[in-house]
Amino acid sequence: MSADALVGRRIVVSAGPTFEDIDPVRFLGNRSSGKMGFAIAVAAARRGAEVVLVAGPVALPTPPGLQRIDVRSAAQMHAAVRAALPADAYIGAAAVADFAPAEVAGGKIKKQADGEGLTLQLVRTRDVLAEVARHPRRPVLVVGFAAETDNVESHARGKLGKKNLDLICANRVGLAGSGFESDDNALVVYGKDFERALGPAPKTELAEALLDIVVARLSTGDASAPARDQS
C-alpha cells in the first residue's frame, strides 16, 4: 500500500474510554486503553492523512503528525467528534459509555452509617457513532467497533445495520492476551456482503490491515464496495 495513499484525506479517529462522573472523586468508566485507536491514527497519519484524534482519558503520549483533542465524558467526545467534521472517514474505536449518572453530586458522596447501599439513576448518553452516520456532513466511510463477550457476529452485524455503518470491527473481550489493555487483539471486519478476519496480531499490525481496507474503499468512492484483497 502506497505511503501517500491518504494524502488529501481527512480522517477522524476516536480512542479510549469515557469517564462519567458520579461525584468529584468517583466515576463510571471502562477498561479501554486507547491503544487500538492510537495505532489507527498513527497508521493513517503515516499514509499522509490529516488526522484528528479525539482521545478519552488514556495514559498514552501524543503521536507526531496529527491533531489530538482530549476529552473526558461521552458528551465531550460527542461534541469534539462532531466539531471535527467534515471528514473523509470516521473510525470510532473509542469505548464510549452508554450510560451516565443523571446528576453529578457537588461533593463526595459519604457512606451511610446504617450500611445502606447507594442507588444511581443512569441516563443514556448520545450515540456518537450513530449520529455521525446520519450527520448532514456524513463522512464517506463510517467505521465502528464492537467489543462483545458473546454472540459476537450477530451483535456486530446488528449494530452495523442499526447504526447505518459502512464497516464494523468486532472482537471478543474477556480473553487473555487480547482486547482491552492488551497490546494484541483479533478483529473480524464486517460490512454489507463483506467479512474479513484480522489477527491475532499486535494492534499496530491490525491498524495497518484495517487502513488497507479503508484506503481501498475510499479510493473507489463507494463505501459499500467490497475492499480489494491486500494479501
pLDDT at position 182: 82
pLDDT at position 134: 96
pLDDT digits (tens, 9 = 90+) for 150-169: 899 999 999 999 999 999 99
pLDDT digits (tens, 9 = 90+) for 58-86: 999 999 999 999 999 999 999 999 999 99
The pLDDT of residue 223 is above 70: no
pLDDT at position 179: 54
Closest to 167 in 3D by CA, of 95, 231, 91, 230 = 91
Is 149 part of a structural domain of the chain?
A: yes
| More confident of the two residues 115 and 6 | 6
- Number of domains the chain contains: 1
Is 227 part of a structural domain of the chain?
A: no
Q: Which domain holds residue 181?
A: 10-98+122-220
| More confident of the two residues 230 and 146 | 146
Is 2 part of a structural domain of the chain?
A: no
pLDDT digits (tens, 9 = 90+) for 94-145: 999 999 999 999 999 998 777 778 899 999 999 999 999 999 999 999 999 9
222's CB contacts (< 8 A; 6+ apart) are none
pLDDT at position 115: 72
| More confident of the two residues 115 and 230 | 115
Percent of the chain with pLDDT over 90: 80
The pLDDT of residue 2 is above 90: no
What does pTM read for this prediction? 0.91
Q: Which residue has the cell 488526522?
A: 51
pLDDT, the chain, mean: 91
pLDDT at position 180: 60
Is 228 part of a structural domain of the chain?
A: no
Is 111 part of a structural domain of the chain?
A: no
Is 148 part of a structural domain of the chain?
A: yes
- Give residue 171's identity as a one-letter amino acid code: N
- Residues serving a catalytic function are 30
CATH number assigned to the domain comprising residue 69 = 3.40.50.10300
Is 14 part of a structural domain of the chain?
A: yes
Cell representation of residue 23:
461525584
Is 16 part of a structural domain of the chain?
A: yes
Q: What confidence category does residue 227 fall into, taking pLDDT thresholds of 50, 70 and 90?
A: very low
Closest to 34 in 3D by CA, of 168, 183, 140, 156 = 183
